[in-house]
Amino acid sequence: MTQPKSEIRIPERRIPLYSEVDVLVAGGGPSGVAAALAAARNGASVLLIEQRGYLGGMATVSQVPAFCPYTDQVKPVIRGIGLEILNDMKCNMEETFRKDWQDMLDWVPIDAEVLKRVLDDKMMEAGVQVLYHTFVGDVLHKDGCVEAVIIHNKSGTQAVKGNIYIDATSDADITYLAGGQLLKGGENGELQPGTMCFVLTHLDRSQFLSSVEVHGKDLKHAIRQAKEEGRLHVAREWAGISWLNNHTAGLNFGHVFGIDGSNAEDLTRGAIQGRALAAHITEWLREAIPGFENAFLTLTGEQVGIRETRRIVGDYTITADDFMACRSFSDDIARNAYFIDIHMAKPTSGMTMIHLPAGESHGIPYRSLLPAGIQNVIVAGRSISTDRATQGSARVMPNCFAMGEAAGTAAAMLRENGSNETRSIDVSALQSRLVRQGAWLGEALNELYLEQA
């Protein structure tokens, strides 16, 4: 944000204590959802705070239209809570959708309203205390230990104390406020662009499919021509279209550049530019694409979708070499098979996309969830400790579910042991419990721990 030219001093004041819990989870996206459920199901008292009025993160806040793949093209690598949520969402969607997608795990379209209700129900069933319309504004910390987080909402300013704090804010907000070490973007500070996803209704899917060879399944032929003619102003020649039914689709289409998702002024600009771009794209679709003649723009994301902001410096940094080598670690708590997917930082830049062979994945070690120098915080989600290339792979929502489940399970186990030192956990015991909960840590670890069960 713009640096203030002057400052004011707030007088010292007493802040009421809202709650004391075993586990405080900040952020209600996939990583926070899975962390809260895992911790509560393992017996911990949990408070989950979320700045919006619902859970789901980018899937609901920003209307990202589909989940990235759960599989390595051969088998599911994201299982446990993440797979449970995917299947429960599908079971609550329209009958025709269920028939089309019941056996599919990759690029499954998201019904945001169904997902919101599914997640509400799961929190109530697990006994998670949820506090919406609330965000972390500050952190009290001393000697590498978080003592409390300061929350803000319509009720005022309050404090929450936890044994373990799970930073699932996507932007590493707790780590940042606690003085942790952070990195952001590339060597020159460049960041992946945002996207204002949107939902269209009054479509005709059969008519669209009848001309798909002409325009391209992802509209690449039509987009290229429209850009050359000056009728469409987008950077990338690709549109992600996810059909919820024969008349409704969510679209991931069009980049908004120069947006730092940890900067309120940038988020404001991204919202304004993103809505204008969604309207421009919709107008072009009506004119150019069969089946979209009556397209009605019914919804844009509450926030422009963000791919990249802060990354923590953790006890171990996952690198592109680890990705390419499909490396496993002694403290693996999840696997990742999604390709490196770095979107252009500028309209004239290129994309970076590197795929692993089918059936292959790499490990995500517990150490990469631990911010250096802080003893009672576990980070889950796209801000874990990676280099920039690997962040472009690990950042997607299925991976966030898996990391969150590991973080929440670890937090509950620490509470059982009467410890708030995240590095004191028995990693083998954590892995064993994750496997018994349904997570997949690779053939060797799953076979080992299932044999012991």
Does residue 2 sit within a domain? no
User: What share of the chain has pLDDT > 90, as a percent?
Assistant: 95
The answer on pLDDT for 452 being more than 90 is no
* Model pTM score: 0.97
- Structural contact between residues 419 and 406, judged by C-beta atoms closer than 8 angstroms: no
Last residue of a domain, one of 240, 266, 300: 300
Same domain, 315 and 413: yes
pLDDT at 3 exceeding the cut of 80: no
Helix (H) / strand (E) element for 408: namely helix 397-416
> Can you tell me the distance from the alpha carbon of 96 to that of 323, in angstroms, rounded to the nearest whole number?
38
Convert the pLDDT of each residue in 44-56 to its tens digit.
999 999 999 999 9
Same domain? 144 vs 228: no
Domain assignment present for residue 192? The answer is: no
Residue 2 predicted with pLDDT over 70: no
- Does residue 168 belong to any structural domain of this protein? yes
Q: Within 10 Å of residue 182's Cβ, how many Cβ atoms?
A: 18
**Domain tally for the chain?**
2
Would you say the C-alpha torsion 424, 428, 431, 437 has a positive or negative sign?
negative
Question: Do residues 418 and 398 share a domain?
Answer: yes
Lowest mean pLDDT among 38-42, 137-141, 345-349: 345-349
Give the tens place of pLDDT for each residue, 391-432.
Answer: 999 999 999 999 999 999 999 999 999 999 999 999 999 999
- Tens of pLDDT, residue by residue over 92-123, are 999 999 999 999 999 999 999 999 999 999 99
- CATH code for the domain in which residue 401 is found: 3.50.50.60
**For residue 86, pLDDT beyond 80:** yes
Q: 213 with 172, same domain? A: no
Q: Which of 238, 267, 300 is the last residue of a domain?
A: 300
Cβ-based neighbours of 417, under 8 Å, separated by 6 or more: 424, 425
> Which pLDDT value is given to residue 348?
83
CB atoms closer than 10 angstroms to residue 270: 26
In this structure, the answer to whether residues 48 and 127 fall within a common structural domain is yes
pLDDT at 1: 55
Domain around 101: 17-57+64-187+308-452
* Residue 313 sits in the same domain as residue 293: no
70 or 348, which is more confident = 70
pLDDT > 70 fraction of the chain, expressed in percent and rounded: 99
Question: Chain-wide mean pLDDT for the chain?
Answer: 96
| 70 and 209 housed in the same domain | no
Does 175 reside within a domain? yes
Tens digit of pLDDT for each residue in 218-274?
999 999 999 999 999 999 999 999 999 999 999 999 999 999 999 999 999 999 999
Mean pLDDT of 434-448: 97
**Domain stops at, among 300, 324, 351:** 300
pLDDT at 139: 98
Judge if 288 and 351 occupy the same domain.
Answer: no
Both tokens of 342, joined, read 């770095």
pLDDT tens-place string over residues 147-205: 999 999 999 999 999 999 999 999 999 999 999 999 999 988 899 999 999 999 999 99
Residues in Cβ contact with 88 at an 8 Å cutoff, skipping those fewer than 6 apart:
118, 122
Classified as helix, coil or strand, 451 is helix
For the residues 291-295, what does the mean pLDDT come to? 98
12 occurs within a structural domain: no
Reduce the DSSP state of residue 46 to 3 states and report it: strand
Give the mean pLDDT of 320-346: 96
* Judgement on whether residues 111 and 220 belong to the same structural domain of the protein: no
